[in-house]
Amino acid sequence: MTAKRREPVVQGIFSWAPDGGVRLLASKCDVCSTIMFPRAAFCSNPDCQKRRENVHAVELTAKGTLWSWTVQVYRAPPPFLSESPDPYVVGMVDTEEGLRVVGLIVEAARPEIGMPLELTAVRLHEDEDRESWTWAWRPRRDGAI
């Protein structure tokens, strides 16, 4: 039996790195260093030029700290599709690059503001030949504070 194809729930929003880790895919302006997530065609800095050639795709470092969190006690209805019927944790995470991003928080028994996190991916659902995965944050395992 062959393994099912793993696919990001939204194409181009994250990727699996060669080392097995997960990276969010963003855009960076070469001129002013502003980073945009999700990816954007133009720099969002009002004082920067709107030139496609200034902006290129970057992978984020996959490290962040928890700015705040909540529990979605009542599951979001479709199009959110998740196999688990349980409540889940959602967080706002400040990444090392200077972004604040929304995402699921997993493997955290007691989420705490300021907690160091790293990016991972979790399976949301599957059909006959593929699995749908989303990005998620979990407590950092490298012991960093």
Q: In what order do the strands lie in the sheet with 130-139?
A: 5-8, 130-139, 116-126, 63-72, 88-95
HEC string of 14-82 equals EEECCCCCEEEEEEEECCCCCEECCCCCCCCCCCCCCCHHHEEEEECCCEEEEEEEEEECCCCCCCCCC
Q: Spell out, one character per residue from 49 to 88, where the chain touches other proteins: x when CB under 8 A holds, - when not.
A: ------------------xxxxxxxxxxx-xxxx-----x
Extract the tokens encoding 121.
């991916």
**H helix or E strand, kind and range, residue 133:** strand 130-139
Least gap, CB of 69 to other proteins (angstroms): 6
Q: Spell out, one character per residue from 9 to 48, where the chain touches other proteins: x when CB under 8 A holds, - when not.
A: xxxxx------------x-------xxxxx-----xxx--
Part of the chain binding other proteins (CB under 8 A), chosen from 4-12, 15-23, 49-57: 4-12
User: Should residue 5 be labelled a site residue for other proteins when binding is judged by CB under 8 A?
Assistant: no
- 117, β-bridge pairs: 64, 139
Part of the chain binding other proteins (CB under 8 A), chosen from 15-23, 49-57, 99-107: 99-107
Q: Is the Cβ of residue 127 or residue 142 nearer to other proteins in the bound state?
A: 127
Distance of alpha carbon 11 from alpha carbon 108, whole angstroms: 26
Q: Which of 85, 98, 110, 127 binds other proteins (CB under 8 A)?
A: 98
Q: Which residues bind other proteins (CB under 8 A)?
A: 9-13, 26, 34-38, 44-46, 67-77, 79-82, 88, 90-92, 94, 98-104, 113, 134-135
